[in-house]
Amino acid sequence: MKKRLSVSLGFLLLLAVVFAYAQQMTLKVPVSFPFMVVAKTLPAGEYQLMKTENGAAFRIMSGDKEGALAMVVTRLSRDMRLPEPSSYVVFDKYEDHYHLSEIWFPGEDGYLVNTTTQKHTHETVMMK
Question: Can you tell me the distance from the alpha carbon of 64 to that of 2, in angstroms, rounded to the nearest whole number?
Answer: 43
pLDDT, greater one: 9 or 60? 60
> Is 5 domain-assigned?
no
Confirm whether 84 is domain-assigned: yes
Q: Would residue 7 count as lying in a domain?
A: no
State the pLDDT at residue 4.
61
Per the domain annotation, does 10 fall within a domain? no
Structural domain count, the chain: 1
**Does some domain include residue 11?**
no
Is residue 117 situated within a structural domain? yes
Of how many residues is the chain composed? 128
- Residue 97's pLDDT band (boundaries 50, 70, 90)? very high
pLDDT classification of 6: cutoffs 50, 70, 90? low
Q: Which domain holds residue 53?
A: 26-126
Q: Which residue has the higher pLDDT, 14 or 58?
A: 58
Does 30 fall in a domain? yes
Q: Is residue 118 part of a domain?
A: yes
Q: What is the pLDDT of residues 25-52, one digit of tens each?
A: 788 999 999 999 988 999 999 999 999 9
